[in-house]
Amino acid sequence: MLSKAAAGRYAVGAFNVLDYNSTKAVVQAAEELAAPVILQTSAKTVTFWGPRALVGWVTELAGRVKVPVALHLDHCKDLDLIRDCIEAGWTSVMIDASARPFEENLALSRQVVEMARPKDVTVEAELGAIVGVEDELHVKEQDSHLADPRQAMEFCAKVKLDCFAPAIGTAHGIYKGEPKIAYHILQEVATSTRVPIALHGGTGLSDEVFRRCIALGCAKVNISTQIKYAFIDGFVGYHNAHSTQYDPLKVLQAQFDEMKKGIAGNIKLFGSAGKA
């Protein structure tokens, strides 16, 4: 999915899902737009529901559509959880050992590749430190740093990744100011590593930033916070407008519509519509 996207200069949307309803919103938006899509789960979400429940929803929903649907484990530091997800049916995993020294990050990423490869599961790893909060993962401003292009080249030469996440100045969560994207790092890393690049911190980036990053080699764009907002705002908005009505299915439909609208907009912008 990602090497095709990188070659075609478009990106596949990778959406962090929270429950059955958000998973359905992603799959239906992708089907309507004939787009390949990635369902992502944070480690926290997997622990909340349990791997088997999640795989059950995904198998059922993906089985109804014609577009390719991947199931990816986002930022995970825990090798046992990665193993559980591989066993349960995830098609892709991310080992995030980016807080460790270079050699340890490399060794752990290699270990995950060895674990994943026999099961045909793809692997993403991170270098540098992406600022912000992604569920239980907190990286403070002072601890964040961009990926070093020379280290990135060495890293990708020493571990065979399917997707690489260098820190290039984007952030998880809501941007406080205008993000400063290190396009030169992205360009150098994409050219020297030839590995499809994941753009983290998608929520709140401008159309222009997305277009530039995708043109430079970002083949996967991660969107999480936007879905969390749509999930809550869809619920609250509906309830505020119908405060005497207690009909949960109508609330779920309002949440679904709100999430799907944003997801469909992302897919169109990333250029993956019609690429299934």
The residues annotated as belonging to the active site are 74
DSSP 200-231: ---TT--HHHHHHHHHTTEEEEEE-HHHHHHH
Contact range with ligand 13P by CB under 6 A, out of 176-184, 217-225, 253-261, 267-275: 217-225
Q: Is residue 203 a contact point for ligand 13P (CB under 6 A)?
A: yes
Residue from 126, 134, 162, 258 touching ligand 13P (CB under 6 A): that is 134
Q: Is residue 109 a contact point for ligand 13P (CB under 6 A)?
A: no
Q: Is residue 202 a contact point for ligand 13P (CB under 6 A)?
A: yes
Cβ-based neighbours of 80, under 8 Å, separated by 6 or more = none
Q: Is residue 173 a contact point for ligand 13P (CB under 6 A)?
A: yes
Instruction: Please give the angle made by the CA atoms of 205, 211 and 216, to the nearest 5 degrees.
Output: 110
Torsion of CA 74, 95, 164, 104, to 10 degrees: 150
β-sheet with 137-139: strand ranges across: 137-139, 131-134, 171-172
Q: Is residue 75 a contact point for ligand 13P (CB under 6 A)?
A: yes
To ligand 13P, the closest distance from the beta carbon of 174 in angstroms equals 8
Residue from 72, 200, 220, 275 touching ligand 13P (CB under 6 A): that is 200
Write the Ramachandran bin of 102: left for phi over 0, alpha for psi from -120 to 50, otherwise beta: alpha
Of 124 and 188, the one with the shorter C-beta distance to ligand 13P is 124
Of 150 and 176, the one with the shorter C-beta distance to ligand 13P is 176
CA–CA separation, 209 and 181 (whole Å): 8
Residue from 6, 28, 74, 270 touching ligand 13P (CB under 6 A): that is 74
Task: Using alpha carbons, select from 71, 75, 67 the residue that is nearest to residue 86.
Answer: 71
Interacting residue ranges for ligand 13P, rule: CB under 6 A: 16, 74-75, 134, 172-173, 200-203, 222-226
